[in-house]
Structure 1
Amino acid sequence: MKNLIISSISAVSLMFGASAYAASTVTVSGSTSVTGVMEVLAEKYQAAQADAVEVQGTGSGAGIRAANDGTSMIGMSSRAVADDELKAGVKQFTMAMDGIAVAVNNANGVQDLTAEQVKKIYMGEITNWSEVGGANMPIVAVTREVGSGTRGAFEDIMGLIRKINGQKVTAISPRAQVQSGNGAIKTLVANNPAAIGYISLGSVDESLRTVKVDGAPATKEAIRAGEYGVARPFVLMVQEDTAAEAQRFIDFIMGEEGAQIIESEGYIDVQ
């Protein structure tokens, strides 16, 4: 009987210990562009140890707020984050670089655009493909939603910001169609011969085609060489006193295995 009691206590202790460790969950939220590669990183990480990782694509703005408020252990942004956007005690670092690919339908004959032409298309000043060497058909410009890190980075890089009464506002035409997420833009562009959109380089597939910008292709090699200028960082934000399980996951992301996964997913590691 004594041995049975001891065995039972041991079993309960083992169960409690295992569940307590398994209950260590790393929460990550923010940019939908970063979410794809983060989910792959989380899957690989969880396969090797007991910590769980929960990833939510809520947008870069929400990721910055989550890091500031501590509602997520790790926040994600797909644009550069200004120091004054972060509260004291919150640090940031770049986990990868990503190109923003300007993409068109596979049936579109336009191969190359200048940055100025792309800007004018999104401002609504160039409205027909024939104005840039394409077929005679109206251009359907597709953009991301306000608050998207991809949109914020695209606006900054392409000069699509203007000031009104001292306030920065978008210069993207209100006629541009708004879509939430890379997937939605890909689907629309892939199914509309007149459409043009911008998406994360790591999201590009055969369903649509990228165009050169100022003669440079949207490739990792061109970004590394500084030739393709439409690129932005993938930023992670954590509080300085972050939990040990979150730090373990960050160490994995920023280590050699994380760098290999980032590269294999089509992004540029910064190790």
Structure 2
Amino acid sequence: MRNFFATLTVLCAIMISGAAVHAADLDAFTGQSGTLKIAGGTAHIPVMKDAAQAIMEMNSEIRITIAGGGSGVGIKQAGEGLIDIGNSGREATSQELETYGLTMIRWAIDGVSVVVNPKNSVQALSSVQLRDIFAGRLTNWQEVGGEDRPINLYTRDEASGTRNVFWTKAIGKEAIDTKANVVVSNGAMKTAVANDPYAIGYVSVGHIDETVAAVTLDGVTPSIATVKSGDYKVARGLFSLTKGEPQGLAKLFIDYLLSPSGQAIVAAKGFIPVK
């Protein structure tokens, strides 16, 4: 019994210590005030919202606004000084960095998964089949072992970082059929595929839930584990960018994303922490 209480005391001390460390991650916001504007990549939004909520609950003098728009929007608006932090699911090009004088910080790693409706019997494809589907050369699910039904393509606009990674790493920069339906975000893609039994699209691995089915590609099923191990190759970093070096609330926010608390949010939202 004495050993039991001794063990319990140690465990409680560890838990209290851990909680104190995580609470301390918000200490930098004490005494701060002002508005922080964030926009860009939509995959980032769940992490951004939770981080912003924690900060604003701790200090009501801080207001943080979060918008989507895609990676291209995040890079451009940060560079033009319209927002304080721009989010991107792709690395900014050397030209973008130089033109806008941007600083880029990676705080998570993410995979991009092909998804279909859960009712679809086709939940595994080869890279060749995937390229042919998105190029419009395969147009019926029967051609890849499914029902005799047309394949309904869904893609993202060219400003999307998710699209850029999918286009580059999943289909080898094959031209995507111009008849594909274009949706504006990871959330919109997931909703579209969930509501269309014959759809195929792609989302951030962190957005996968029971409403869509992740497609095994070349024998590897996309998941946090397979992205982390490197077995699943369709992966990317999640970045935040500022014009020049981060300053003020922007710096504090990015520091928080890289803190133990911030990285815990990253993991809880289905991404891979960088620390």
Please give the TM-score of this superposition, normalised by the length of structure 2. 0.83
Could you say which residue in structure 1 is the equivalent of 2:22? none
Counterpart CA distance in 1 for 2:168 and 2:245 is: 32
1:66 aligns with 2:77: yes
Counterpart CA distance in 1 for 2:127 and 2:213 is: 17
Residue 80 of structure 2 contacts residue 100 of structure 2 at CA under 8 Å; is this kept in 1?
no
Could you say which residue in structure 2 is the equivalent of 1:196? 200
1:217 aligns with 2:221: yes
Residue aligned with 2:163, SS: helix
Question: Residues 4-56 of structure 1, C-alpha deviation per residue, up to 9 Å, x if partnerless?
Answer: xxxxxxxxxxxxxxxxx664111111112212221121112222234321111
Residue aligned with 1:207, SS: coil
Moved over 6 A (4+): none
- Residue of structure 2 aligned with 1:206, choices 194, 205, 210: 210
Counterparts in 2 of 1:24 and 1:193: CA distance versus 1, 3 Å: same
> 1:153 is aligned with what amino acid?
V
> 2:83 is aligned with what amino acid?
S
> 1:55 is aligned with what amino acid?
I
Residue aligned with 1:45, SS: helix
Could you say which residue in structure 2 is the equivalent of 1:51? 62
1:239: how far off? 2.5
Q: Choose 75-84 or 254-263, whichever is displaced more.
A: 75-84
Q: How does 1:254-265 map to 2 (within 5 A)?
A: 254-265=258-269
Aligned length: 243
Could you say which residue in structure 1 is the equivalent of 2:127? 115
1:140: how far off? 0.7
Counterpart CA distance in 1 for 2:107 and 2:89 is: 10
1:250: how far off? 1.0
Residue 40 of structure 2 contacts residue 74 of structure 2 at CA under 8 Å; is this kept in 1?
yes
Could you say which residue in structure 2 is the equivalent of 1:80? 91
Counterpart CA distance in 2 for 1:98 and 1:27 is: 23
Could you say which residue in structure 1 is the equivalent of 2:161? 149
1:223: how far off? 0.5
1:128 aligns with 2:132: no
Counterpart CA distance in 2 for 1:156 and 1:173 is: 15
Q: How does 1:99-110 map to 2 (within 5 A)?
A: 99-110=111-122
Residue aligned with 1:33, SS: coil
Residue 101 of structure 1 contacts residue 210 of structure 1 at CA under 8 Å; is this kept in 2?
yes
Counterpart CA distance in 1 for 2:134 and 2:62 is: 44
Residue aligned with 1:143, SS: strand
Q: How does 1:244-255 map to 2 (within 5 A)?
A: 244-255=248-259
- Residue of structure 2 aligned with 1:31, choices 36, 41, 54: 41
Counterparts in 2 of 1:241 and 1:196: CA distance versus 1, 3 Å: closer
State, as a whole percentage, how many aligned pairs show the same letter.
Answer: 36
Residue aligned with 2:43, SS: helix
Residue aligned with 1:186, SS: helix
Residue aligned with 2:192, SS: helix
Residue 96 of structure 2 contacts residue 102 of structure 2 at CA under 8 Å; is this kept in 1?
no
Q: CA RMSD in A?
A: 1.7
Structure 2 unaligned segments of length 5 or more: list them.
1-30
Could you say which residue in structure 1 is the equivalent of 2:20? none
Question: Residues 131-154 of structure 1, C-alpha deviation per residue, up to 9 Å, x if partnerless?
Answer: 212122111111112311211221
Q: How does 1:177-196 map to 2 (within 5 A)?
A: 177-196=181-200
Q: Choose 255-264 or 234-243, whichever is displaced more.
A: 234-243
Could you say which residue in structure 2 is the equivalent of 1:4? none
Counterpart CA distance in 1 for 2:89 and 2:57 is: 26
